[in-house]
Structure 1
């Protein structure tokens, strides 16, 4: 049966009013607190996350429950409106980060990226599984099998957040540095493996067993994405961008890039993979073309000043710190946070040392890979939806996302200050400067 779109009623006037009010309030708070964070030496990301936290159930709901209930009503459709806009923002943010990746340079250091990703995954995964096996209720729900909870917790503390790393590196002007490139490459590998492991654990939680039919499709899809990117996709993207640049419309290039990024995100989402993976891969393909970076400066400004802040503020909006007030849950939360920070940082640091990086470079890699951000939020949300996690464990993982995202930038900045800028990095900076609308990075 076919149903015409015109047969559906338009969005109710009140829902539209609330949506506009949400966006306005979140943007104002995110921009103000982001600017304040920059003033005290933190990235804007920290203020943007804090904006959502203050406007969410942790603070505003207690101080002004009536206003909070009107502005952020607990209605699925209303929440999805805000989420949809945020998803567009994160897809474009990740795509822009992929464009700044020097594919040739990364290919030459693929071994280093793989080693950092390997140690940065295995160590926190093992520690997370270990602590998951010994955590008691209420941190672990009674209805969840201990091994399933432990496996899920291991995956949760092992993830890395490309969106957070991308924004931090772009804010700190480090995307042109070799270490910044290496962090992005290792983070991409981390995310690929982490989403694969998440799909396996989710299947185990749902079906109780794993089979060949569960394992093989994600691997096949990943191989297909990689093959497409280096063959047909590369040629097609070059041709489409060449036609867009030849157009008399000055907005044609930015519009075409947005379409390509969103289409890539839709493709990987349809495969059961994460949408940001498709956006990142398409961004890499665009970056390897001969597209003039200056053509995308307006798009970068909109993403970094509007869409990305709104996305991170929305992520902070989901946090409710009141759920971890009880001493047993608080103690378990401290343990999980410690395992997450130490495991990921140590793993990435050791991977950097294994790859021949010096102490400060390895420190920068450890700090960058330690940021969990909204990927942790996504993983925690999946666990809550499947019933693997309760409210307590979910909130603890959200806290891990916030703390690791805030602590990464200052460590990264200090470590990179000890690393000299090479001639190659200066050339890359000059190439990327027009994209960011600046004379120099």
Structure 2
């Protein structure tokens, strides 16, 4: 990779904010970044080379940071969310049951043999998409609290389940690696909790703020990279390492200063680089050789939307069900890990990303259709 290439990647990252500029469209920023990568990558002009080792490594770092930030967005300390956990857990479980049925049916119909993987995708929700929607649209009330709990639980469960189902032959190894990463995250939580309760963290924070040391950010990144190294050694995705650390930080309480610093680091550089890399890696030309996979992507996306919309039977408004179906982190991880392990068929990664786009469109519709009764006044 050269500075010329890095300049191009950074400029292509601006396609995200440009496409999402009009708020009424409710489009996520990552959509423009993915499309820019597709246009200049394998599918399009071929200017970007996603196999470049430096490009790939920076993208892995970006993926870890993206999942770390997503984990910190889960409101685990919010007492009002805890009160809605029961209803949210029941809905997440019900969607999971429907997802298994739909996933197996779709896998059998298309003959891919990836029923469990499809089930995880259909059941997943993306806290990184849904929670910003709730904040930006000022949604409130009991239904939204239940939605938040449902999404947080579904997102966490999908992140844990994905490494186990994407390569069933090595599920035991993946389970052991996942336990090691989870155990390390618990130790990190206890360590951070001790620093918080003893007042050491506050003293370090004052010195760091006065002297512009950015100590908390440096420690957070060191812990993230350490868990990422453990995940790599344990043959599980760095997605789990980032998300688990994010949950640990959220459980202790993320300082606002660190949140702003992480936002600048992630959304300003690493996240756009990752999504441009992901788009450059997708080969949509394979749809020409396997056009039926377009139907696979649409079927997976509609299956996810339908499974979540059916929670209307459990008292959830259809619009909120459509918002809950939004997914991006888990499909991205499935494409990244599945491609690295060579367990996905040609064209299947593009189909998985197409299914995610279908759910994002449905979430945009749900946002526009949200009843006034669930908005804060």
> Same fold by TM (over 0.5)?
yes
Aligned-pair CA distance for 1:323: 0.8
For the residues of structure 2 that align with 1:45 and 1:229, how far apart are their CA atoms?
Answer: 30
For the residues of structure 1 that align with 2:139 and 2:191, how far apart are their CA atoms?
Answer: 27
* Contact 2:177-2:235 within 8 A present in 1 as well: yes
SS at match of 1:371: coil
What is the number of equivalent residue pairs in this alignment? Answer: 371
Which residue matches 1:363? 319
Deviation string, structure 1 residues 9-66 (Cα, Å, up to 9, x no partner): xxxxxx4x2xx333321221221442233226223232222222222222223xxxxx
Q: 1:179 to 1:320 in 2, by over 3 A?
A: farther
Deviation string, structure 1 residues 89-116 (Cα, Å, up to 9, x no partner): 4144324424x55432332222223223
* Contact 2:82-2:149 within 8 A present in 1 as well: no
Deviation string, structure 1 residues 257-313 (Cα, Å, up to 9, x no partner): 444444455556655554344434443443454665256434323433333222222
The one of 82, 86, 90 equivalent to 1:115 is 90
1:43 matched to 2:28? The reply is yes
Structure 1: gaps (5+ residues): 1-14, 62-67, 141-147, 424-441
* Contact 1:158-1:340 within 8 A present in 2 as well: no
For the residues of structure 1 that align with 2:224 and 2:139, how far apart are their CA atoms?
Answer: 19
Which residue matches 1:389? 344
Q: 1:402 to 1:181 in 2, by over 3 A?
A: same
The one of 311, 323, 327 equivalent to 2:274 is 311
For the residues of structure 1 that align with 2:338 and 2:353, how far apart are their CA atoms?
Answer: 12
* Contact 1:237-1:285 within 8 A present in 2 as well: no
Which residue matches 2:328? 373
For the residues of structure 2 that align with 1:80 and 1:189, how far apart are their CA atoms?
Answer: 30
Structure 2: gaps (5+ residues): none
For the residues of structure 2 that align with 1:320 and 1:254, how far apart are their CA atoms?
Answer: 36
Which residue matches 2:45? 60
281-290 vs 342-351, which deviates more?
Answer: 281-290
Say which one has the larger Rg: 1
Which residue matches 1:194? 158
Which residue matches 2:211? 249
For the residues of structure 2 that align with 1:45 and 1:169, how far apart are their CA atoms?
Answer: 18
For the residues of structure 1 that align with 2:325 and 2:43, how far apart are their CA atoms?
Answer: 25
Which residue matches 1:410? 364
Deviation string, structure 1 residues 185-220 (Cα, Å, up to 9, x no partner): 4344334443554444455346xxx7xx56974785
